[in-house]
Amino acid sequence: MDNAQQSSASCHVSVMPDEIVHWVAGCQPKVVIDGTFGGGGHSRRMIDAIESLDLVIGLDRDPAVLRRADDEGVDRLSVFLASYEQAAKALDVCGHDRCDAMVLDLGLSSDQLADRDRGFSFQFDAPLDLRFDPENGVSASEWLARQSEKEIADAIYQFGEERFSRRIAREIIAAAKRREPVRTVQQLCDICRRCVPRSKNHDIHPATRTFQALRIVVNDELGILARTLQAAPDWLDEGGRMVVISFHSLEDRLVKQAFRDDDRWNVLTKKPLRPSDAEITTNPRARSAKLRIAERSAR
């Protein structure tokens, strides 16, 4: 677990920052975990706005967070290269047993989308990688090369909710048999364009759901989220708050069910909070965000 500092070069605009500060400040926290540090926008906002705060512990799986770090120190902030499911280790390194709040913003960072070499954006042809940490695990192209047609179709359907998953999987396998394995963003986009009819009601890129599915698979996103939601009550003091922003139904469903079914949580938002119209106007990527908050019940 490597220590880092906040980057000043981030282009990411944090989602629902006012709401994050409001709900975190409500428990008068001293120690907060920002489990998806990214460009550090939420962390900086909390440090500036919450007087009781002694320390924000930032976690991120993306090594680019470290590479963007500059020499400017930020008081009350310690950032680590690690998944948010390693929050307990980060707390221990910082000399704490528990925290008062944990924030997760599960959306893809604008910094990742702007990186031409990672494969996250349809705008740039690049190797089909899609890993948050390209130094570990298996890239999306490698994963596709190792799976059967059924396994690919099932993953695209389950994690991307793509109705045309079987068509896409068939084309991916056919390309491999022609000795033209899918290795780039452009190759996969071309397959999805051929297989997914243009929607009349939604102006969505035909590859969007497939890319979402592969990104979830290679990063084990839902597995990490589920394990974290199960373990997080042990990391929070009584009255501590878990604050989660999700961006698609699979994530939101996991958060909703975890908060509802675990007696260690008191749900503070019966329905998810949504960004304001003004925020969506200035930051269109916020439009699908859903914010849920739960409080750690008495032990």
Looking at residue 202, which CATH number applies to its domain? 1.10.150.170
Name every residue whose Cβ is closer than 8 Å to that of residue 243 and which is 6 or more positions away in sequence: 20, 23, 24, 101, 102, 103, 104, 291, 292, 293
Three-state DSSP state, 83: coil
107 lies in the same domain as 228: yes
Residue 189 one-letter amino acid: C
Number of Cβ within a 10 Å radius of residue 71: 6
pLDDT confidence of residue 206: 94
- For residue 281, the tally of other CB atoms under 10 A from its CB is 11
Same domain, 39 and 183: no
Distance of CA 224 to the CA centre of its chain: 10
Residues 123, 89, single domain; the answer is no
Residues 215 and 194 in one domain: yes
Question: CA triplet 153, 159, 162: central angle to 5 degrees?
Answer: 60
The Cβ of residue 62 has, within 10 Å, a number of other Cβ atoms equal to 21
Q: How many domains does the chain have?
A: 2
How many other C-beta atoms can be found within 10 angstroms of the C-beta atom of residue 254?
A: 19
Do 93 and 227 lie in one domain? The reply is yes
219, 246, 281: which is the final residue of a domain? 219
Asked if 105 and 15 sit in the same domain, the reply is yes
Report the largest interatomic distance among the alpha carbons of the chain, rounded to a whole angstrom.
62
Task: Record the tokens describing residue 66, joined without a space.
Answer: 């470290």
**pLDDT for the residue numbered 39:** 84
Residue that finishes a domain, picked among 219, 235, 260 = 219
Q: Are strands 55-60 and 290-296 parallel, antiparallel or unpaired?
A: unpaired
CA distance 162 to 156: 6
Could you give the CA distance from residue 153 to residue 130 in angstroms, rounded to a whole number?
18
225 touches 254 (CB < 8 A): yes
Verify that 52 and 199 share a domain, yes or no: no
Q: What is the CATH number of the domain that holds 255?
A: 3.40.50.150
The secondary element (H helix, E strand) that includes residue 267 is: strand 265-267
Nearest CA among 275, 289, 293 for reference residue 18? 275
Asked if residue 234 lies in contact with residue 202, where contact means CB atoms within 8 angstroms, the answer is no
CB neighbour list of residue 120: distance below 8 Å, 6 or more residues apart: 108, 112, 113, 130, 211, 215
Q: How far apart are the first and last CA of the chain?
A: 30
207 and 225 both lie in a single domain: no
SS3 18: helix
- Quick one: 97 and 63 in the same domain? yes
Domain co-membership, 185 together with 278: no
Q: Are residues 11 and 147 in the same domain?
A: no
Q: Where are the beta strands (DSSP E) in 194-235?
A: none
* Parent domain of 202: 115-219
One digit per residue, the tens of pLDDT, for the chain of length 299 reads: 654 443 445 566 889 999 999 999 999 999 999 999 988 889 999 999 999 999 999 999 988 776 654 434 578 899 999 999 999 999 999 999 999 999 999 987 766 666 777 788 888 899 999 999 988 899 999 999 999 999 999 999 999 999 999 999 999 999 999 999 999 999 999 999 999 998 766 678 999 999 999 999 999 999 999 999 999 999 999 999 999 999 999 999 999 999 999 999 999 999 999 999 999 999 988 999 999 999 999 86
Query: Do residue 272 and residue 194 come from a single domain?
Result: no
Last residue of a domain, one of 219, 250, 272: 219
